[in-house]
Structure 1
């Protein structure tokens, strides 16, 4: 039945085709008499002329250049098709039609309209000023649907990077007169997709809480509307993997691996669960450390002495690199070029150690031909070039080039900085290519701060870190509070005279309305300085200060010790400050040390003559698998008057920032006979501060930690304790060395609007006239 029915349908189809052929036979005969019958693949069209219709802005010559067809020659159907494709791909025409009429080729086009203006609608999180410069579609250019779609995809990707992966961007056109259109990108931003939870699988040495502090991504907390780091960004996950690897390697886990990092979308599609699966391995320590050399001019024992690697300490790649750098620098100081230090690691799985042998070998004789710098539109070449210790013609040292690359990135002038090498004009020549992309280096900030000593204050500051592209820093700041005003201008030249000398110029104007006594102070000064390195982690600063220091508006009821200082005096002082800081440059990832010692001698001209000495010793370390941070600080100061009595503006005061648990100027010598029992300050102080902070078991993304502290110290010493009253001299003012001690607890809250610290304290040892402060809050924010 099916075969019979198919046969009947075929017969009907043939009959219909025969009728159609009969009706069109006359037309076929006419065409056959005019055009020879040839196969389709061999058909060609003679072109005697080309007629172009429909173009308004585009010149005929432009269209002919895309056609690539010549008059007087024949074109095949394939060549005509290629011409049509070229016109369409030009992006200039909405429609293209090429029709041969006899020997004439008629080209009819419809041009794309011109973009009148480009607008973005529906965007709230990302501003027009930031988005429109990224678009290729611009006003007064030809509209192209492909370009508009690409721009829409670019905008959607920008929202995806901001955590709004559900955002959609739709390009639409609004026709205008004279073949113009308005191009509008309609944005539906959607909600932010946050990281709801970050978990780790396979970690034993460190807790999830500790590892969450390592990575850049953060979990969403109750401040999710403010915190931006809890937004899910795919590229950030890859960066987190590297951060985890660096963290474990610096702590001796040489076999550490991130096996996987899996982001999973929640059922509601409004958040991600991110899990890192890791394999820690074992923690290796340094075994035997040796130094070997077969070069006759090198004494291996001498080089071994500069190694900062000891048997039994935790292995760290940073310590290896540091030792290599020290040895190669020693070779350069001895005039030995092309000496390379090759670390040879021997693994001992039985005792979980790594033997390290530093082999001093002869490297290839390669020289730096030139250093090419590209991409710096504003920054001068010399700013980048001075980061290199190597110049053209010097022996090529790969480590020096890598160190220079790190210094260039650390400048903060460039968003990207790539430093690569390639062969120069000969096999023994190397060209160093520096490719940078500049970024914004200026900032304008407004701030609000609060401290129990200074009260609330407002601040405005401007800072340009790359002034005129010279690598110089220019800053201006203005702070005003209820009791003080401070205006300062600073200028820093980091490479004075083309050397590693930092020249600083500081001018300031300060006024205070003392909270501790009824008088005002005014300080106007100028201080130039020079700072330079004296060791790997040590720096020395030399300065000179000239200032006018005034004490005025002293109330009649104020202490006579302060009243007799009411005057203006010029200070001319030389200063020296030495600092040694390993908190960021040291090799211990769990701690660091800060040492600071300074002296100022006034009397090189001016009316005041004194010697002031200050010092600070601070150490920090992490214990309990890096969950608990321990800090210890000792700070001291001594003011020695060379002639006469010290003024109150020269003496020290202990505020809550130095000795917690007491008011500002709450301890030390005090005139108990004055109406306000005025604080007088002291010529000497010494304070020791011990504290620890630790997690409270709250989610890490809240940034809340607990702390305990113990402070002990004293402020003492006056040149003259005579208050001018009938009291027995010295009885009204006790300037002796009296110990005060405080114990307390802290709540530390690291927020996006600034670090908050709540201190609750209790004085253990104090004097009757001291002024306590059992609660203290410090908050600072910039926006």
Structure 2
């Protein structure tokens, strides 16, 4: 009975329905104007006479619609004929942007995919709107909204309009740090690219919140601590909280500093028989006890590999092996000299340089085709190419060449404008207001040469100057330059005027890793005219017999000289990023023709260091010079005149030998004569004032001591009223306010002379402003 019931139930079930299918002998396409029927049939994938199911028709519909060429698609079987009706997307007539003020149309056009005379796609337009909104977000406009609109035109064309609501700027109200024990918040904020909103928020764009910039800030924080020996430093998190008014962010960096490590034992080892490890060890500059820095290790490796190349040792690699000593907080570094893979440079390909010549890029490489391949040298070459300043982007990559032991170095650059026409103004309390104009080309004719024409005029001086620089003469590290200038001065504080013509070619080259030598020839023609406008004719005897009047009587004097300048800078590949010193020494020998024969010697040494966890910067400098004539006679235009920036607290010619004569009849001359010898020592400290870091205001205090003395002028030897010819040192103390503004750095100096002479021209306050617009 059970099986009988089951059988009856099964016989009562309905038969499965057969799927509907179609067979078309003809396919008709309607509505297409630009798209060929064959293209539409290829998307449909249906052939005449082929049996197609209903699911197949749906798949064909999806393929045609998914092509992105049609606004709508209909597929309708009509007996043995398949009708495909399409509505093509219109073409874009033009693209416009409305409501944008912060970002120009040209910039937005580079962001979007849609282009005029291309097919309009609603999905592409939506993606473009998202990209435009992201561009405004990166500019700090987080509330930006973009809506794409179309305006129908004839012939199936549309105008694509992006309606933009920029919204307000979302600024960074505060940047804080959690976990920092060694360095203060103010010190760390100076490291970051992002800045807090301050008084100059209308000019500073780095105080807007940009998420990508936060990632960069994390990297520079890591570099900052790593370079100071904190090898365990890490950023554990960044919190960005939006204010209640949604117009600002509070950003907090959570960091872990760790302990500061120093270099421990420094050794060099090798298993190569042709390498003397002691010789390589002697080439290292790093010593135990120095604060550890990865850049110091990198520089040491580069130094050893360059030594290997000079010794003819190919395919040498230096591997640093670091041993950590937590007990004494040191890192032992073993520089292992090993044999690298035998890989050669097959060729160097350069692309993207439409203006810059290949040789300008190629000379940044220290290798040529056929040389052993060194990855470190390729990275350093890439940095040198970027440092040229000729390119927006510069990517250098290496790929396998025609064989596994060959490498092709590819250089892909994108050029940027290198010429500039600038107009500016400058003001100083000593020179007054001046206007400046300059036409500069940093990459003249794509040869990497620099040409500059500058004009400037102030109340008492006018300068016309042409400069040309070839940084790589004959393809070598030889910098050749020509400086031609014409200078007119109408000295408001002195009783003489001058006009000067100068021609100065020079040649500079390195003589060491941190030192450089510059050789020059100089031809200079100086005309000097006495200017005693305050006296009426005929001039009194005190004027006609003055030193200035006698020196001006020589008229135009031609000087032909050669000289050199040697400079050494310890910060080039230095071990300490917070300290360094610089030394400069030069001499000029006149007498190769001309009217004068003399030796001028100058020297300057300066040092700088940061203390108190880099909150305070200390600076010290010592400079001096001596002038010795053996033919002709020195004039005030030849001798040293100090003051102003050389020694604060006095006008540029405010101290030194003077001629002061009062004939008792109301005729007084008071002329600064300059001196043949000078010496100045300066001490300075720069420190925070407790103001918010975003204001860019810091304080300073300084102490200057110096003097200028000595006259061997035949005109002055028998003149009356000569004073301060001896070595009398002046002492000055002062306070400074440093203010970094978007239009340039400002410095205010308030000075007080502790020791001076009665006739010195003291300057108790000065401010300097330099700007370009």
**TM-score (ref. length: structure 1):** 0.90
Q: For residues 598 and 648 of structure 2, what CA distance do their matches in structure 1 show?
A: 29
The residue aligned with 1:759 is: 749
Write the mapping of 1:269-418 to structure 2, written as runs, cut at 5 A.
269-418=246-395
Q: Is the 8 A contact 2:530 2:549 kept in 1?
A: no
Q: Determine if the alignment matches structure 1 residue 618 to structure 2 residue 606.
A: yes
Q: Distance in 2 between matches of 1:65 and 1:489?
A: 68
Instruction: State the SS of the aligned residue for 1:564.
Output: helix
Local SS of the residue matching 1:652 = coil
| Residues 379 and 74 of structure 1, relative CA distance in 2, 3 Å threshold | farther
Deviation at 1:116, TM superposition (A): 2.6
Alignment-derived partner of residue 500 in structure 1: 477
Task: Spell out, residue by residue over 1:670-726, the C-alpha distance to the aligned partner (whole angstroms, 9 max, x if none).
Answer: 2212745122222222111110010111111111111100001111222327469xx
Cα distance between partner residues in 2 of 1:40 and 1:518: 116
> Retained in 2: the 8 A contact 1:584–1:592?
no
| Correspondences of 1:60-459 after superposition (within 5 Å) | 60=37, 62-71=39-48, 73=50, 75-459=52-436
Partner of 1:18: none
**Aligned equivalents of 2:146 and 2:69: distance in 1?**
24
Kindly state the Cα deviation for residue 76 of structure 1 after the two structures are TM-superposed.
Answer: 4.4
- How many angstroms does 1:45 deviate by? 3.4
The 2-side partners of 1:610 and 1:516 are apart by 28
Q: Is the counterpart of residue 666 in structure 1 residue 654 in structure 2?
A: yes
2:732 to 737, 742, 745: 742
Mapped contact 2:133–2:144 kept (Cα < 8 A) = yes
How far is 1:212 from its partner? 0.9
Q: Which residue of 2 aligns with 1:6?
A: none
Q: 1:757 to 1:513 in 2, by over 3 A?
A: same
Taking structure 1 as reference, are residues 210 and 56 closer, same or farther at Cα in structure 2, changes over 3 Å only? same
Indicate how the Cα distance of structure 1 residues 91 and 765 shifts in structure 2: closer, same or farther if over 3 A, else same: same
Aligned residues: 743
Aligned to 2:7: none
Task: Please say which of residues 627-636 and 70-79 is displaced more in the overlay.
Answer: 70-79
SS in structure 2 at match of 1:672: strand
Out of 757, 760, 763, which is 1:773 matched to?
A: 763
CA shift, 1:73, in A, is: 4.7
1:569 to 557, 568, 573: 557
Check whether the contact 1:47–1:75 (CA below 8 A) recurs between aligned residues. no
Measure how far apart 1:629 and its partner are.
Answer: 0.3
Deviation at 1:776, TM superposition (A): 1.1
Which string of whole-angstrom CA distances, capped at 9 and with x for unpartnered residues, describes residues 40-97 of structure 1? 74512313242x3333444545545544544455554444434433443343332222
C-alpha contact 2:551 2:715 (8 A) present in aligned 1: no
- Could you say which residue in structure 2 is the equivalent of 1:523? 500
Q: Quick check: 2:129–2:162 contact (8 Å CA) kept in 1? A: yes
**3-state SS of the aligned residue for 1:642?**
strand
Shift of 1:477: 2.0
Please tell me the root mean square deviation across aligned C-alpha atoms, in Å.
2.4
Contact residue 721 and residue 733 of structure 1 kept, 8 A: no
- In the other structure, the counterpart of 1:603 is 591
CA distance in 2, matches of 1:675, 1:583: 51
Secondary structure of the residue aligned to 2:670 is coil
- CA–CA separation in structure 1 for the residues paired with 2:447 and 2:75: 60
CA contact (8 A) 1:171 1:185 kept: yes
CA contact (8 A) 1:453 1:655 kept: no
1:741 Cα deviation from its structure 2 partner: 1.0
Query: Where does residue 4 of structure 2 map in the other structure?
Result: none
SS of aligned partner of 2:382: helix
Q: Distance in 2 between matches of 1:41 and 1:540?
A: 92
Residue deviations 1:477-532, cap 9 Å, x none? 22222222222222222211111111222222222211221432222333222211
In the other structure, the counterpart of 2:5 is none
Residue matched to 2:696: 703
What is the match of residue 590 of structure 1?
578
Give the match's secondary structure for 1:191: coil
Match of 1:34 in 2: none
Task: Name the counterpart of 2:664.
Answer: none
Deviation larger for 338-347 or 684-693: 338-347
Q: CA deviation at 1:548?
A: 3.0
Change (3 A) 1:689 1:110: same
- Secondary structure at the counterpart of residue 230 of structure 2: coil
Aligned to 1:48: 26
Kept in 1, the 8 Å contact 2:697–2:738? The answer is: yes
Equivalent-residue separation in structure 1 for 2:524 and 2:130 (angstroms)? 60
Cα distance in structure 2, aligned partners of 1:265 and 1:66: 50
Distance change (3 Å), C-alpha of 1:517 and 1:81? same
Specify whether residues 775 and 49 from structure 1 end up closer, same or farther in structure 2 by C-alpha distance, changes over 3 A only: same
TM-score by length of 2: 0.91
Retained in 2: the 8 A contact 1:683–1:716? yes
Report the Cα distance in structure 2 between the residues aligned to 1:191 and 1:411, rounded to whole angstroms. Answer: 37
Deviation above 6 Å: which 4+ runs of structure 1?
Answer: 37-40
Residues 721, 730 of structure 1: 8 Å contact kept: no
| Equivalent-residue separation in structure 2 for 1:40 and 1:500 (angstroms) | 86
| Deviation of the 1:743 alpha carbon | 0.5
Tell me if structure 2 keeps the 8 A contact 1:308–1:319. no
Structure 2 contact 657–722 (Cα < 8 Å) conserved: no
Conservation of the 8 A alpha-carbon contact between 1:517 and 1:676: no
Distance 1:305 1:451 in 2: 51
Cα distance in 1 for residues equivalent to 2:22 and 2:772: 76
Structure 2 residues without counterparts, runs of 5 or longer: 1-14, 536-542, 662-666
2:671 is the alignment partner of 1:678: yes
Deviation at 1:763, TM superposition (A): 0.2
Deviation at 1:540, TM superposition (A): 1.1
**2:461 matched to 1:484?**
yes
In the alignment, the residues of structure 1 paired with residue 51 and residue 549 of structure 2 have an alpha-carbon distance, to the nearest angstrom, of 110
1:106-148 superposed Cα distances (whole Å, 9 cap, x missing partner): 3333233332322111111112233224333233333222222
d(CA) in 1 for partners of 2:603 and 2:571? 17
CA distance in 1, matches of 2:33, 2:408: 52
User: Is 1:627 the equivalent of 2:620?
Assistant: no
Kindly indicate whether the alpha-carbon contact (under 8 Å) linking 2:299 and 2:573 is maintained by their aligned counterparts in 1. Answer: no
The answer to whether the Cα contact below 8 Å between 2:23 and 2:49 also exists between their aligned partners in 1 is no
Matches of 1:404 and 1:762, distance apart in 2: 51
Q: Return the alpha-carbon distance in structure 1 between the equivalents of residues 350 and 443 of structure 2.
A: 17
Instruction: Describe the SS at the equivalent of 1:678.
Output: strand
- Alpha-carbon separation, structure 2, partners of 1:537 and 1:46: 85
Indicate the SS of the match to 2:65. helix
Q: In 2, distance between residues paired with 1:518 and 1:84? A: 95
CA distance in 2: counterparts of 1:179 and 1:710, whole angstroms:
79
Q: What secondary structure, in the 3-state scheme, does the structure 1 residue paired with 2:771 have?
A: strand
Cα distance per residue 1:212-249 (max 9 Å; x no partner): 11111111112111111111111111111111111111
Higher mean C-alpha displacement, 583-592 vs 194-203: 583-592
Distance in 1 between residues matched to 2:630 and 2:157, nearest whole Å? 84
Whole-angstrom distance in 2 between the partners of 1:480 and 1:291: 60
Distance across 2 between alignment mates of 1:40 and 1:610: 115
